[in-house]
A and B are shown apart, each in its own frame.
Chain A
Amino acid sequence: MRTSILFSAVATSIVLGTAGCKIVKNPDPNATQETAEQQTDEARMAAYAREIWDAQVLPAVAEHLVPLSDLRTALAKDVDAAGAAHGMRPEGEANPWNFAVSGSGVIIVAKTASRAAKLQLDTDDDGKADVTVQLGPVVRGTAIRDAMPFLDFSNFRDQIEFAKLAGGLNAMAHENLSVPEGDLVGMTATFEGVFTYKNLTSSPEVVPTALSIGGS
């Protein structure tokens, strides 16, 4: 029991510590004044995702960023070696690798009216889409959460809380995008983001942390 209290105390102080720093450095008008206990899981994890986004998430993405074309070559040669060199994943059996990648390509399909909006890009000039960029607000998967080495499931109460954290991080990704109106097909999109590796034949479904669209 004592250990668990200590663990929670440590976890809480880490959360509060991060929150404290962030507020001093960069006051957020949307930051809620409620204490953690009064909030729902969703609100608490959304607030936590907002606190760590600039301070920890974006730096972790930048640190592990690899050009998609280089990663493709490395994966084709040896998935485990590519994962060890560039990937991020939680410890445990059979957890898939997550990669932070940068790239650019021509927009082949732009499904922007959907709640699960996405772009499909051709990044290797063969005229065929080979990367999906998830625009949201409905963003599939938990790639950003699972790629963060400092987010450990053991420090969260249960899967529900941990799932809400993934949702909060996906929402941050969506919030920081600006997608121009109009027909985007044929334009060039340049992106940075995270995806969960499935296999060599599945095209990556990237959750973008940066995206610019323009030119053709």
Chain B
Amino acid sequence: MNTNRRTFMTGLAGVVTLASTSISFAQGKGLIAIITPSHDNPFFKAEAVGAEARAKELGFETIVLVHDDDPNKQSQLFDTAIARGANAIILDNAGADATVAAVQRAKDAGIPSFLIDREIKESGIAVSQIVSNNYQGAQLGAEEFVAIMEETGNYVELVGREADTNAGIRSSGYHDIIDQYPDMVMVAQQSANWSQTEAFEKMESILQANPDIKGVICGNDTMAMGAWAALEAAGRNDVLVVGFDGSNDVRDSILAGGIKATVLQPAYRQAQLAVEQADTYLAKGSTGLPEKQLMDCVLINADNAADLETFALGA
């Protein structure tokens, strides 16, 4: 199926070089499927946009799909990608365990997968797994949090979705720093499943039970936005909030004196890099790089927030 398609495309390209009605047809590199969680979270949208833009620049056609963090839906999307004869899959997955089978199925069908943002719990199935150095990033966020809390006070942690490795690793990075300060006291730790609305609701009830909090550290920016909205609604603009991702929403909040800090994951570049590695792999049979690659994160606060745009730090 794959080979036929490629032969056909190459043949076609040879015949219609002069016509060149479509750049992707002229270059004939084939199809890349880009599968991410819902674009409601701008982080995942930036990934999809970054991957799609780079794929088109390199001469690929693209299909962009969302799995909404549902492993069953993700499985169906893999079937779609396989049926459409995709040459490669760029994936931000729906679960470290549940995704292994889908990526294996694509591999068995001759389609290499390039993972971004989230890992899966097996090596040797995907070609690349490019993830942010969440532990390093979480330590940066925690150091900033401890500094603005002046090393003392009650705080709340909002954790991400449990099935996602990144929720655990960020929490672990936070606590490896914060727990070294005996006067920092965690009065509540709850999962808000990466969700803004859930974070809003959780924050409201936590605040009722614990009015004496000084700070909230969140596993991602959408939860930070939800928590901040709840705090503002309760007239608690004094509470220090720190997020993780580096979204434009949180950037604007930082610049307006709301949320205090976040940690930038280079999501846009990461997605582009995955496409570049797919391109290299399809051409040469190898990326020349190890499967699992970490990309360092950067602390964002009032000092550099103005330079942040769509998950990338400008000059």
Contacts and interface: CB of A to CB of B under 8 A. Distances in A.
A70 interface: no
Given A115-B180, A158-B96, A160-B168, A95 B294 contact: yes
A204 B294 CA distance: 21
A176 interface: no
B131 A92 contact: no
Interface residues of A, number: 32
Given A142-B135, A157-B121, A167 B293 contact: no
A4 B125 contact: yes
B92 interface: no
Interface stretch (A72-80, A119-127, A148-156): A148-156
B165 A153 contact: no
Contact of A93 (B119, B131, B143, B293): B293
Contacts of B169: 158-160, 163
B293 A160 contact: no
B180 to A, nearest CB: 4
Nearest to A153: B292
Nearest to A92: B293
Interface string A138-182: 101110000000001111111110110011000000000000000
Interface stretch (B10-18, B40-48, B170-178): B170-178
A157 to B, nearest CB: 6
Interface in B154-175: 165-166, 168-169, 172-173
B180 A154 contact: no
B295 A92 contact: yes
A155 B123 contact: yes
A61 B123 CA distance: 28
A94 interface: yes
B193 interface: no
B136 interface: yes
Given A7-B124, A142-B135, A163-B135, A158 B119 contact: yes
Nearest to B122: A4
Contacts of A163: 135, 169, 172-173
A91 interface: yes
B252 interface: no
A155 B119 CA distance: 13
B273 A153 contact: no
Most chain A CB atoms below 10 A, which of B131, B168, B173, B294: B294
Contacts of A156: 292
A208 interface: no
Interface in B49-106: 96, 104
B291 interface: yes
Interface in A1-43: 1, 3-4, 6-8
Interface string A36-70: 00000000000000000000000000000000000
A167 B133 CA distance: 14
A90 to B, nearest CB: 7
Given A138-B177, A159-B165, A160-B165, A91 B289 contact: yes
B289 A167 contact: no
B102 to A, nearest CB: 13
Given A160-B168, A163-B173, A92 B121 contact: no
Given A93-B293, A141-B136, A7 B123 contact: yes
Interface of A: 1, 3-4, 6-8, 90-96, 115-116, 138, 140-142, 152-160, 162-163, 166-167
Interface of B: 96, 104, 119, 121-125, 130-131, 133-136, 139, 143, 165-166, 168-169, 172-173, 176-177, 180-181, 266, 269, 273, 289-296
Across the A-B interface, give the 10 residue pairs with the lowest CB-CB distance, nearest first.
A92-B293, A163-B135, A4-B124, A153-B292, A154-B292, A115-B180, A3-B124, A154-B291, A138-B180, A159-B169
Given A94-B295, A141-B139, 11 more contacts: A1-B125, A3-B124, A91-B289, A95-B294, A96-B296, A155-B123, A158-B165, A158-B169, A159-B119, A163-B135, A166-B135
